[in-house]
């Protein structure tokens, strides 16, 4: 759990990411600067292939920037660490471990006594409502339950930053709504800095403090929306402003409306 309010600041300073190709280098992410303040929830939205996941992978330490600097609390990000947790759409659970075993796996490198490791893992499963399913294997769990295990496994190590790449994209609409509520509860307790990558404008507006919109590839930031509506949000009771922002973002995501940031 992240108790310190000033822990988890992510600095993205003039970052460019290029990948080699047969003809020439391809720019996956154009020059981008952004600060994720400690404990905030930022949604990143944009067209397919615009570099959203590339930026997330760079913050996770999986991809090195071609130019610019990435930092966490002022220190350069040079590779993966327990300070930055990642949750993917496809759960990434080990099929040979139970739910409890998958959560315990996240704690292995911390060198905890076995009893403490098990206790923390069970507490994390209880937090996501899976105490009764601790001994089930992933193939015995629904999609929503698998993602709950992934959330428990990530939060149990107390990351400063949580990166989520389309985490609910494979779930049905009803399950997504319940997962939104669960995520909000866990995040408000732990207050990790969250970067949430999504294609879903409604999801971004209902969950985030800040919404960042990216252009067509090569991606760059073209708009920022700071949201002040109280949570839990709903379009039916959050006033016309949220609906107006929704329509504006949908317009920005159309290729002909690829605008320069204001």
Interval 44-87: pLDDT, tens: 999 888 899 999 999 999 999 999 999 999 999 999 998 999 99
Q: What pLDDT shows up at residue 259?
A: 45
Question: Domain boundary residue among 135, 158, 181?
Answer: 158
Residues 179 and 227 grouped into a single domain: yes
* Confidence category of residue 159, pLDDT binned at 50, 70, 90: very high
Residues 133 and 262 in one domain: no
Q: Please check whether residues 108 and 121 belong to one and the same domain.
A: yes
Q: Which CB contacts under 8 angstroms, 24+ apart, belong to 16-24?
A: 16/65, 16/66, 16/67, 16/68, 17/51, 17/54, 17/55, 17/58, 17/63, 17/65, 17/66, 18/66
What percent of the chain is modeled with pLDDT above 70? 94
Structurally, how many domains does the chain consist of?
2
pLDDT band at 260 (very low <50, low <70, confident <90, very high): very low
**Domain end among 136, 158, 180:** 158
Q: Are 29 and 144 within one domain?
A: no
* Mean pLDDT over each residue of the chain, to the nearest integer: 90
What value, to the nearest 5°, has the Cα angle with vertex 206 and ends 124 and 43?
75
Per DSSP, 131 falls in state: G
pLDDT score recorded for residue 106: 82
**Judgement on whether residues 102 and 175 belong to the same structural domain of the protein:** no
Same domain, 178 and 105: no
Q: Are residues 165 and 44 both part of a single domain?
A: yes
CA separation for the pair 76, 57 (Å, rounded): 15
Which token pair is 258?
A: 């690829």
**pLDDT reported for residue 84:** 96
Q: Which domain holds residue 104?
A: 92-158
Q: Provide the terminal-to-terminal Cα distance of the chain, rounded to the nearest Å.
A: 36
H or E stretch at 154: helix 143-155
Whether 20 and 54 share a structural domain: yes
Dist CA 31 CA 219 (whole Å): 8
252 shares a domain with 186: yes
Q: Looking at residue 181, what DSSP letter applies?
A: H
In this predicted model, which residue has the larger pLDDT, 218 or 23?
218
Q: Which of 158, 185, 211 is the last residue of a domain?
A: 158
243 and 173 both lie in a single domain: yes
**Pairing of the two strands 41-45 and 193-198:** parallel
In this predicted structure, the answer to whether residue 5 has a pLDDT above a threshold of 70 is no
Asked if 76 and 178 sit in the same domain, the reply is yes
Render pLDDT for 191-210 as a digit per residue (tens, 0 to 9): 999 999 999 999 999 999 99
Quick check: pTM over 0.75? yes
Looking up residue 47, the CATH number of its domain turns out to be 3.40.50.300
More confident residue, 230 or 94: 94
Overall average pLDDT of the 129-142 stretch: 96
**Residues 237 and 255 placed together within one structural domain of the fold:** yes
Least confident of 11-20, 21-30, 118-127: 21-30
């Amino acid at each position: 759990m992240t108790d310190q309010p000033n822990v988890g600041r992510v600095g993205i300073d003039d970052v460019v990411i290029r990948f080699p190709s047969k003809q020439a280098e391809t720019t996956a992410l154009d020059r981008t600067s952004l600060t994720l303040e400690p404990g905030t929830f930022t949604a990143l939205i944009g067209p397919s292939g615009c570099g959203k996941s590339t930026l997330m992978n760079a913050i996770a330490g999986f991809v090195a920037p071609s130019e610019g600097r990435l930092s966490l609390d002022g220190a350069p990000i040079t590779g993966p660490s327990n300070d930055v947790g990642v949750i993917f759409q496809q759960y990434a659970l080990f099929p040979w471990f139970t739910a409890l075993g998958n959560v315990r796996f996240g704690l292995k490198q911390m060198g905890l006594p076995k009893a403490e490791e098990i206790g923390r893992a069970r507490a994390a499963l209880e937090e996501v409502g899976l105490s009764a399913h601790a001994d089930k294997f992933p193939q015995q769990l629904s999609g929503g339950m698998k993602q709950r295990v992934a959330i428990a496994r990530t939060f149990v190590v107390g990351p400063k930053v949580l990166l989520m790449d389309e985490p609910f994209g494979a779930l049905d609409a009803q399950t997504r709504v319940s997962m939104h509520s669960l995520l909000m509860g866990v995040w408000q307790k732990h207050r990790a800095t969250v970067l949430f990558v999504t294609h879903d404008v409604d999801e971004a507006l209902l969950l985030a403090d800040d919404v960042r919109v990216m252009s067509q590839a090569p991606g760059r930031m073209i708009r920022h929306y700071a949201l002040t509506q109280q949570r839990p949000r709903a379009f039916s009771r959050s006033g016309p402003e949220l609906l107006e922002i929704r329509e504006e973002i949908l317009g920005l995501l159309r290729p002909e409306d690829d605008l320069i940031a204001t």
